[in-house]
A and B are shown apart, each in its own frame.
Chain A
Amino acid sequence: MHEPTIYEISVEGRQGVRYPQPDVPEIPLPEIFMRKELPLPELSEIDAVRHFSQLAQKNYSVDTGFYPLGSCTMKYNPKINEQVARFPGFLYTHPLQPITTIQGNLYLMYHLQEYLKEITGFAAVSLTPAAGAHGEFVGVKMIKRYLEEHGQSHRNKLLIPDSAHGTNPASATMNGFDTLPVPSNSNGTIDMDVLAELCQRDDIAGIMITNPNTLGLFEKDILDITRLVHAAGGLVYGDGANMNALLGVAKPADFGIDVMHLNLHKTFSTPHGGGGPGAGPVVTTDQLALYLPGPIVTILEEETEDTAPLYGYLIPEKTIGRVKAFQGQFGVLVKAFTYITMLGAEGLRRVSEYAVLNANYLLANLRDIYVVPYDGLCKHEFVLEGVWKDLPDIHALDIAKRLIDYGFHPPTNYFPLIVHDALMIEPTETESKDTLDAFIAAMKSIAKEAREEPELLHAAPQSTSIGRLDEVKAAKMLNVCCLPQYDQ
């Protein structure tokens, strides 16, 4: 049974929240600019609360269950984060307030900047990008600007591994680059021979790499990769989505990466919110630091015996420009700061240790049941094939939907592109052995059903309030708004 929309619940004359009348003398509104109708719904507060609470119950979430979603790092979102981010001192500060009135915010941002640099090994950072893709856009643009300033504008090709996330080539295009694919070898890592050949070209701007890569494998040749690209005259962009495998283990700056983004909503526990908000800070070397987008928080006046440091803003000299309004997703930054502060160095290292332990534990238990195209020691995630050669009618989609009947969110489907019917699994460190064992049992059971009762997979999910939805109809009929006057 579907929950009606707010327009369907609306009853003329109902009002939820009421406001006082203005206590200033009222003047007439400018008639020529006044709208004739305002087609908003009318609900009482209880209507609204029940409606949204009902909708909440239709959602799977980390709070209710396991998400083995490769490349998303769906770890537990600490409750303390929610509380702390809402301290009035943070909540009620206007972004344009004079700096003397928001030293608390600037202190927090300054120290978060320092922590992210320390964790990744880089020299400089900007907290402004609002999401991972936004950070990518920034990093790629910084590379472009650097090359231009050094008389290298003819370098217009970015190398992109065929296992890359779709945002990578899209970020390249947004910055006026063309892309050249770099194939993976039979081990699932970058094909060094092809890379070496590509690096003979004189129009290489750089490479966008993810390490560990999207198959969950550590690119052992990473130093050679970055060396090759640098020798060819290019720079290296690092997609930091997989940072959960490296905390306190290795520093991406040591790999030869020049600029990288981080996903605070992945590695640093800030919640996904159903699709956002996130935050995608960008870290970089001294060489590219001047190109970062501002504002960046800096110390304007050093501390003295009696006074704390005075924090303020700085716009880097050669900045690529502003990439969003104000300073960044502050409400998200507070949560990441809180997380890092609670964990400390020891806690962060344990995150990666257990993220990798959990992934390898799952792999060890599943490798005999499912095809593992690139087998071996994985990092925080791994990829299975959602097909068996002798069962041509079963695809990853069917396995994914059947997992829902077992109470799990499906793993990432159909990505990376280089694996047929990929199922990318990333448990994260916050899942217990019990949860993992239950997941393993479900996966084994589904593999058996695929063979013996395939109709269970094809009909899945059966246990949800709604079955598989007609996506073709959604695209063709295109009903994206339920206003009465736009009756579809």
Chain B
Amino acid sequence: MEFPKELRYTETDEWVRVKGNIATVGLSDFAQDQLSDLVYFESLVEIGDTVEAEGNLATVESVKSAGDVLSPVSGEIIEINGDLEDEPEIINTDPYGNGWMFKIEMSDPTEVEGLLTAEEYQDQSEG
């Protein structure tokens, strides 16, 4: 189970990679493991949409389970990973790399400070 140190996490199992003002968002390794083989990814937002932190970004489905992807930060959607619709399993095999889901231009970069560190998230997930 991986918990990359440079990322931040939410209690609802999303990760955030910050580069300047842009936040890249996805689901953690722990989340994909819980869900098991994903068969469906559906974005609930479009490029240009504004989201609030904890707002619904997407729905994912596996055979046994369904989950929502919630936004860790507020801002504008600037990119969506188009590969996930046809190959949602990328989220299982490479959750932190090619399994990225959204790129958001943050309206309040300080929000990231309130998210969990890798250590905190690991404790929460495995505790």
State yes or no: do A and B touch (Cβ within 8 Å).
yes
A interface residues with partner B (beta carbon < 8 Å): 414, 471-472, 475-476
B37 proximal to A (CB < 8 A): yes
Q: Which residues of B contact A472 (CB under 8 A)?
A: 37, 39, 62-63
B76 proximal to A (CB < 8 A): no
CA distance A472 to B87 in the complex (A): 12
Interface of A, helix, strand, loop or mixed by DSSP: helix
Complex: chain A residue closest to B88, CB-CB: A476
> B1 CB to closest chain A CB, in angstroms?
14
B61 proximal to A (CB < 8 A): yes
B3 proximal to A (CB < 8 A): no
Interface residues of B, CB < 8 Å — how many?
7
CA distance A472 to B62 in the complex (A): 8
Q: Which residues of A contact B61 (CB under 8 A)?
A: 475
B31-49 CB contacts (< 8 Å) to partner A: 37, 39-40
Q: Which residues of B contact A414 (CB under 8 A)?
A: 64
Q: Which residues of A contact B40 (CB under 8 A)?
A: 475
B45-81 CB contacts (< 8 Å) to partner A: 61-64
Complex: chain B residue closest to A472, CB-CB: B37
Q: List 11 A-B contacts (CB under 8 A).
A: A414-B64, A471-B63, A472-B37, A472-B39, A472-B62, A472-B63, A475-B39, A475-B40, A475-B61, A475-B63, A476-B39
> B37 CB to closest chain A CB, in angstroms?
5
Complex: chain B residue closest to A474, CB-CB: B63
CA distance A475 to B62 in the complex (A): 8
CA distance A146 to B121 in the complex (A): 45
Q: Which residues of B contact A471 (CB under 8 A)?
A: 63
CA distance A414 to B36 in the complex (A): 15
CA distance A476 to B37 in the complex (A): 10
> A420 CB to closest chain B CB, in angstroms?
13
Q: Which residues of A contact B37 (CB under 8 A)?
A: 472
Complex: chain A residue closest to B61, CB-CB: A475
Complex: chain B residue closest to A477, CB-CB: B39
> A354 CB to closest chain B CB, in angstroms?
35
Q: Which residues of B contact A475 (CB under 8 A)?
A: 39-40, 61, 63
Complex: chain B residue closest to A397, CB-CB: B64
CA distance A476 to B85 in the complex (A): 11
> A151 CB to closest chain B CB, in angstroms?
33
Q: Given A472-B39, A472-B63, A475-B39, 8 other A-B contacts at CB below 8 A? A: A414-B64, A471-B63, A472-B37, A472-B62, A475-B40, A475-B61, A475-B63, A476-B39
The 8 residue pairs across chains A and B that have the minimum distance between CB atoms: A475-B39, A471-B63, A472-B37, A476-B39, A472-B63, A475-B63, A472-B39, A475-B40
> B92 CB to closest chain A CB, in angstroms?
10
What 0/1 pattern do residues 5 to 40 of B give for CB contact below 8 A with A?
A: 000000000000000000000000000000001011
> B32 CB to closest chain A CB, in angstroms?
14
Q: Which residues of A contact B39 (CB under 8 A)?
A: 472, 475-476
Q: Which residues of A contact B62 (CB under 8 A)?
A: 472
Q: Which residues of A contact B63 (CB under 8 A)?
A: 471-472, 475
CA distance A472 to B36 in the complex (A): 10
Complex: chain B residue closest to A473, CB-CB: B39
CA distance A2 to B37 in the complex (A): 27
> A208 CB to closest chain B CB, in angstroms?
21
> A396 CB to closest chain B CB, in angstroms?
12
CA distance A471 to B65 in the complex (A): 12
CA distance A476 to B88 in the complex (A): 10
Complex: chain A residue closest to B39, CB-CB: A475
> B34 CB to closest chain A CB, in angstroms?
13
> A393 CB to closest chain B CB, in angstroms?
15
Complex: chain A residue closest to B38, CB-CB: A472
CA distance A476 to B62 in the complex (A): 10
CA distance A91 to B17 in the complex (A): 66
> A379 CB to closest chain B CB, in angstroms?
28
CA distance A475 to B39 in the complex (A): 6
CA distance A471 to B37 in the complex (A): 10
CA distance A237 to B62 in the complex (A): 32
CA distance A297 to B40 in the complex (A): 47
Q: Which residues of A contact B64 (CB under 8 A)?
A: 414
CA distance A414 to B64 in the complex (A): 10
CA distance A475 to B66 in the complex (A): 13
> A68 CB to closest chain B CB, in angstroms?
22
CA distance A471 to B62 in the complex (A): 10
Give the most central of A414, A471, A476: most B CB within 10 Å. Answer: A476
Q: Which residues of B contact A476 (CB under 8 A)?
A: 39
Complex: chain A residue closest to B36, CB-CB: A472
> A109 CB to closest chain B CB, in angstroms?
40
CA distance A201 to B1 in the complex (A): 40
Complex: chain A residue closest to B40, CB-CB: A475
> B84 CB to closest chain A CB, in angstroms?
13
> B122 CB to closest chain A CB, in angstroms?
20
> A261 CB to closest chain B CB, in angstroms?
26
CA distance A283 to B62 in the complex (A): 38
> A263 CB to closest chain B CB, in angstroms?
25
Complex: chain A residue closest to B63, CB-CB: A471
CA distance A471 to B36 in the complex (A): 12
CA distance A475 to B64 in the complex (A): 11
> B94 CB to closest chain A CB, in angstroms?
17
Complex: chain A residue closest to B37, CB-CB: A472
CA distance A475 to B37 in the complex (A): 10
Give the most central of A414, A471, A475: most B CB within 10 Å. Answer: A475
CA distance A476 to B64 in the complex (A): 13
Complex: chain B residue closest to A476, CB-CB: B39
Complex: chain A residue closest to B86, CB-CB: A476
> B88 CB to closest chain A CB, in angstroms?
8
CA distance A471 to B39 in the complex (A): 10
> B126 CB to closest chain A CB, in angstroms?
15
